[in-house]
């Protein structure tokens, strides 16, 4: 049976982690990760999460099954966090949310369902995008193409190219968008640019699949949901995958949600029944613990306020690292201007480093980054930043 099976290629980012772990040099730094670390270089346990965990253990609840769609209190709170409590889509019942296994699980449920509904549609992802987007939609059976997004010259958004790509797609294509904190580039459209993107999507009758994996890491919980809310207010039917992995530092609990915004409460009821079939035949129902923790934080006024404050701390630490990276590189005498790093949003930065510079950083200095030049700014801290700056400066000068 297995004789002719070929070895699958290593996941580029997880492969980098393996290499990093095997590196015996002291002073090595892994900027290739997709995880928020605190200033001590640890994955934080948020205080709000810890409190909710303690509460749950003390409640000594049994471990029964959740419904197929997950915990109702989580789904409602996740939808309100995304769309706003008073949003018409929320109060009218034309939007629904199901719990998912992280943001990846939400994308997968959505992709599998869309394949049933639109078997011949093209899926368009940004160039570049989170590396799992292409694989995930291809696995679901779609033909995946790219729309222009990043402009390496300006280190910013290629809006004209993006709009032209969206116009060139067949009508009713599926367009995957990063709602905030674009991974890997850190480049987000401005509100005015989002409006142009949404108008084009509406004109072409495209279906938007908004991926929001970093709500709260850009400018704030409400601010980072602005693009999603714009699309919904414009009456666009869309799917939205939420990840709580980063925002709650709950990576291994696999907590996320899929929200589907339809045209009417009746439509929502029918679509939900179909999405539940996708879940039932995939993993039956989601796990309880992480969902219960997130639900408690979102539904408790006190814990929500604590979460919001802890998110603000993470956000400002990332901004501080961006500021220091740019000013220290300048102080180290590098000729290039790195000011673009200051306007990028979220954990990641397309640093502009070339693949060969990334290789030299790793080989000569033990600094690991993705070959595209993506670095995780949230992996920088007060202890490692000087070493990283010196290494980048030395690679840039030679
Ligand atoms: N979408 C994007 C853009 C991401 O960056 C990530 C996580 N790296 C995900 C989805 C998946 O999130 P999760 O780990 O919750 O599955």
> What single DSSP character describes residue 127?
E
Convert the pLDDT of each residue in 329-338 to its tens digit. 999 999 999 9
Q: Is 183 in the pocket of ligand 1 (CB under 6 A)?
A: yes
Which atom, in ligand 1's list, is nearest to the CA of 251?
Answer: 14
pLDDT band at 377 (very low <50, low <70, confident <90, very high): very high
Query: Which is nearest to 111 in space by CA: 207, 18, 45?
Result: 207
Query: Which is nearest to 102 in space by CA: 265, 250, 235?
Result: 250
Share of the chain above pLDDT 70, in %: 100
C-alpha to C-alpha distance for 380 and 391, rounded to whole angstroms: 13
Convert the pLDDT of each residue in 23-43 to its tens digit. 999 989 999 989 999 999 999
Q: Is 178 in the pocket of ligand 1 (CB under 6 A)?
A: yes
* 12 pLDDT above the threshold of 80: no
Q: Is 211 in the pocket of ligand 1 (CB under 6 A)?
A: yes
ipTM of the complex: 0.99
**Predicted pLDDT at 197:** 98
Dist. CA 8 → ligand 1 center (Å)? 21
Among 50-54, 155-159, 322-326, 369-373, the range scoring the smallest mean pLDDT is: 369-373
Dist. CA 244 → ligand 1 center (Å)? 9
pLDDT band at 14 (very low <50, low <70, confident <90, very high): confident
Convert the pLDDT of each residue in 380-394 to its tens digit. 999 999 999 999 999
Q: C-alpha angle with apex 89: 83 to 95, nearest 5 degrees?
A: 90
Helix ranges, 120-264 (H): 131-139, 159-168, 191-203, 226-233
* Active site positions, annotated: 130, 211, 246
User: Hey, what's the torsion of the CAs at 164, 165, 168, 172, to 10 degrees?
Assistant: -120
Which atom, in ligand 1's list, is nearest to the CA of 101?
Answer: 16
* 61 pLDDT above the threshold of 90: no
Share of the chain above pLDDT 90, in %: 95
Dist. CA 243 → ligand 1 center (Å)? 6
Mean pLDDT (whole number) for 115-130: 97
* 13 pLDDT above the threshold of 90: no
Q: Is 103 in the pocket of ligand 1 (CB under 6 A)?
A: yes
Which tokens go with 312? 């603000």
Dist. CA 117 → ligand 1 center (Å)? 24
Which atom, in ligand 1's list, is nearest to the CA of 133?
Answer: 1
Dist. CA 103 → ligand 1 center (Å)? 5
Q: Is 348 in the pocket of ligand 1 (CB under 6 A)?
A: no
**177 phi, psi to nearest 5 deg:** -125, 145
Q: Is 112 in the pocket of ligand 1 (CB under 6 A)?
A: no
* 103 pLDDT above the threshold of 80: yes
Domains of the chain, earliest start first: 12-45+308-397 (3.90.1150.10), 65-299 (3.40.640.10)
């Amino acid at each position: 049976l297995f004789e002719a099976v070929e070895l699958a290629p290593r996941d580029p980012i997880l492969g980098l982690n393996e290499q990093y772990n095997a590196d015996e040099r002291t002073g090595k730094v892994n900027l290739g990760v997709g995880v928020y670390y605190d200033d001590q270089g640890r994955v934080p346990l948020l205080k709000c999460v810890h409190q909710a965990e303690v509460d749950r253990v003390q409640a000594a609840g049994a471990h029964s099954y959740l419904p197929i769609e997950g915990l109702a209190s989580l789904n409602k709170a996740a939808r309100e966090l995304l769309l706003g409590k008073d949003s018409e889509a929320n109060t009218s019942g034309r939007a629904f949310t199901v719990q998912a296994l992280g943001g990846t699980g939400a994308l997968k449920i959505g992709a599998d369902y869309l394949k049933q509904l639109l078997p011949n549609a093209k899926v368009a992802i940004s160039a570049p995008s989170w590396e799992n987007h292409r694989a995930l939609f291809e696995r679901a059976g779609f033909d995946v193409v790219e729309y222009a997004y990043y402009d390496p010259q300006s280190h910013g958004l290629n809006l004209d190219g993006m709009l032209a790509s969206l116009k060139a797609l067949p009508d009713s294509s599926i367009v995957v968008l990063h709602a905030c904190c674009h991974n890997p580039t850190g480049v987000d459209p401005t509100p005015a640019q989002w409006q142009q993107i949404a108008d084009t999507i509406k004109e072409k009758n495209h279906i938007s699949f908004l991926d929001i994996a970093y709500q709260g890491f850009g400018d704030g919980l409400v601010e980072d949901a602005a693009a999603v809310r714009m699309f919904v207010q414009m009456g666009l039917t869309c799917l939205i995958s939420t990840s709580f992995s980063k925002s709650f530092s709950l990576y291994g609990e696999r907590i996320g949600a899929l929200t589907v915004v339809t045209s009417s409460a009746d439509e929502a009821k029918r679509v939900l029944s179909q999405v539940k079939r996708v879940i039932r035949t995939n993993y039956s129902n989601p796990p309880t613990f992480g969902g219960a923790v997130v639900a408690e934080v979102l539904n408790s006024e006190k814990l929500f306020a604590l979460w919001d404050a802890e998110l603000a701390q993470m956000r400002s630490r990332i901004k501080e690292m961006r500021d220091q990276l740019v000013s220290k590189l300048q102080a180290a005498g590098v000729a290039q201007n790195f000011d673009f790093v200051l306007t990028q949003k979220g954990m990641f930065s397309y640093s502009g480093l070339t693949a060969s510079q990334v290789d030299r950083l790793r080989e000569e200095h033990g600094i690991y980054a993705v070959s595209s030049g993506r670095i995780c700014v949230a992996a920088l801290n007060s202890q490692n930043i000087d070493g990283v700056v010196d290494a980048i400066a030395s690679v840039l000068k030679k």
